Amino acid sequence: MAHKSKTFKIITYGCQMNERDSEMMSDMLEAVGYEHAQNIEEADVIIFDTCCVREKAENKVYGKLGQIEKLKSANPNLIIIVAGCMVQQLGAAQKLRERAPYVDIILGPQNLSELPHLIQKVLEKRETHIYVEEHGKLNEEKLPKRKARGAQAFVNIIYGCNNFCTYCIVPYVRGRERSRQPEHILNEIKDLVEKGVIEVTLLGQNVNSYGKDLEQKVNFAELLKKVNEIEGLKRIRYTTSHPRDFTPELVETISGLDKVCEHVHLPVQAGSNRILELMNRGYTREHYLELVASLYEHIPGISITTDMIVGFPGETEEDFLLTLDLVKKVQYDNAFTFMYSPRKGTKAATLPDQIPLEEKKARLKALMELQNEISLAKNEAMVDQEVEVLVEGPSKNNPNNLSGRTRTNKLVIFEGDKELTGKLVPVKITRAQTWQLRGEICRA
Ligand code: SAH
Ligand code: SF4
Ligand code: F3S
């Protein structure tokens, strides 16, 4: 009888760090003989790679886990794993055991490399394993060589975060900053380029902190210079930038490096100095606006995106108006806007004057309306321009069209052969919408 391989399915929530973690888990499982399952019903192993940055993210996971329980009753050999940030919160693993006792493995983000070993243990002896050590042994350099997945790749440069913004759970679940050795990063990118990658996104909660913890002193600007030298690589992106640590040296470096894309994700969070201070962000609105002015001046055509939180404890109408005012001044290309969500264990969750939900909703709506107007106007200004697009494949919403991104990270939809996937093509913008552009391929 033909041997049937075991299969797995990973469901990923949260940010790019989690996407990259999921890829690592996928590579680890493939290295021990597992294959991707076509759909979740057929999988022998189901992994949830979770997020807990806001309460909503956690609720989604519990909702989905409830559905999976049925699969487990139908197939007792199914292995269910909950990994990711959610389980690393204080007391979360215990809570999960109580609410979802059918989960076999609970695995924190700093302990990913334990995955194959823990699955083996469950197979040998069906009992639950919890592995959420805070200073885990994840060592990316010791994992099986990574697979390339198309023309784009995420590359970790620094793990964890030291900033402790008062609303944020990330430092608690991802631990302190740990930079990867520059040669490991460069070798990984060179290897990816050999496998067909032309665009990399360098990842860190705060890429501007890169290198501070390394013995051999190298900073983010120096790393970018080295990555820029890699032959065959066409585009370099990086996220996330912290406005406090974005130095003039870095602005200058970026403006001089041809592969570094004209886009920066620069989360501002709020426009009022009082709120920024309560958030422990370490910069003022004046500093931020100066930085933005310098970016616009030195990097022509740069697009700037951001994250913003409305309804932080104590945020008055006046504070909020300062956020709206800042948005008008900066003219963001796009913004991710969130209602403040109290996270247990963070400082802000204990602050007085929590803002009522209705108020948060009203502020979010006003902010989104303003930003949508600006996004549309900025996109309209691109009509008739010719831009370079990296084709990502058939468009999700119109599979007969292709979609891809400009160097400024704007989504463009256009007609073309799907053979162009992974290629850079010149596209003329024909129509603008709030969230995307329409275009046609320029014929030579
Ligand atoms: N390291 C990045 C991103 C962290 S999480 C940074 O420093 O910006 C992504 C975004 O989620 C944050 O930028 C913030 O806007 C939002 N966020 C984080 N904690 C939140 C909370 N408790 N409630 C609402 N939004 C939050
Ligand atoms: Fe969270 Fe602030 Fe760190 Fe970003 S910089 S991960 S918002 S603590
Ligand atoms: Fe990312 Fe969510 Fe963790 S935003 S770092 S997956 S809490």
Local confidence pLDDT in tens for the 444 residues of the chain: 445 789 999 999 999 999 999 999 999 999 999 999 999 999 999 999 999 999 999 999 999 998 898 998 888 899 999 999 999 999 999 999 999 999 999 999 999 999 999 999 999 877 778 777 776 667 888 888 888 899 999 999 999 999 999 999 999 999 999 999 999 999 999 999 999 999 999 999 999 999 999 998 899 999 999 999 999 999 999 999 999 999 999 999 999 999 999 999 999 999 999 999 999 999 999 999 999 999 999 999 999 999 999 999 999 999 999 999 999 999 999 999 999 999 999 999 999 999 999 999 999 999 999 999 999 999 999 999 999 999 999 999 888 999 999 999 999 999 999 999 999 999 999 999 999 999 999 986
Distance (angstroms) between ligand 2 centre and the Cα of 215 equals 24
Q: Among all chains, which residue has been given the structure tokens 């790679």?
A: 49
Architecture (CATH level 2) of domain 386-441: Beta Barrel (2.40)
Rounded CA gap, 173 and 17, in Å?
A: 12
Cis ω on the peptide bond leading into residue 240 (within 30° of 0)? yes
Task: Map out the domains of the chain as residue ranges.
Answer: 7-131, 148-259, 262-381, 386-441
- Helix/strand/coil for 6: coil
Q: Among all chains, which residue has been given the structure tokens 């690589």?
A: 233
- State if residue 209 touches ligand 2 by the CB under 6 angstroms criterion: no
- State if residue 61 touches ligand 3 by the CB under 6 angstroms criterion: no
| Distances from the Cα of 302 to the Cα of 58, 99, 141, 145, 258, angstroms | 35, 47, 34, 34, 13
**CATH topology for the 148-259 domain:** Transcription Regulator spoIIAA (3.30.750)
> What's the distance, CA 215 to chain centroid?
27
What is the reported pTM? Answer: 0.96
| Distances from the Cα of 383 to the Cα of 303, 315, 375, 380, 426, angstroms | 15, 38, 13, 6, 14
Q: Which two tokens stand for residue 1?
A: 């009888």
Ligand 1 site residues (CB inside 6 A) read 53-54, 167-168, 170, 205-206, 240, 242, 267, 269, 307, 309, 338, 340-341, 343
- State if residue 282 touches ligand 2 by the CB under 6 angstroms criterion: no
Rounded CA gap, 388 and 410, in Å?
A: 11
Q: What is the CATH number of domain 7-131?
A: 3.40.50.12160
Beta bridge mates, 9? 46
Nearest to 234 by CA among 426, 442, 427, 424: 424
The residue type found at 439 is G
Per-residue confidence (pLDDT) for residue 1, from 0 to 100: 45
| Residue 293, number of CB atoms within 10 A of its CB | 12
> Strand 402-406 and strand 7-12: pairing?
unpaired
Q: Which atom of ligand 2 is nearest to the CA of 307?
A: 7
Ligand nearest the Cα of residue 364 is: 1
Per-residue confidence (pLDDT) for residue 136, from 0 to 100: 67
| Cβ atoms 33, 4 nearer than 8 A | no
Beta strands in 51-145 (DSSP E): 79-84, 105-107, 129-131
**CATH topology for the 262-381 domain:** Transcription Regulator spoIIAA (3.30.750)
Residue 295 phi, psi (nearest 5): -65, -45
Domains 148-259 and 262-381 share a fold: yes
| Cβ atoms 43, 37 nearer than 8 A | yes
Pocket test residue of 15, 17, 165 for ligand 2, highest count of atoms within 8 A of CB: 165
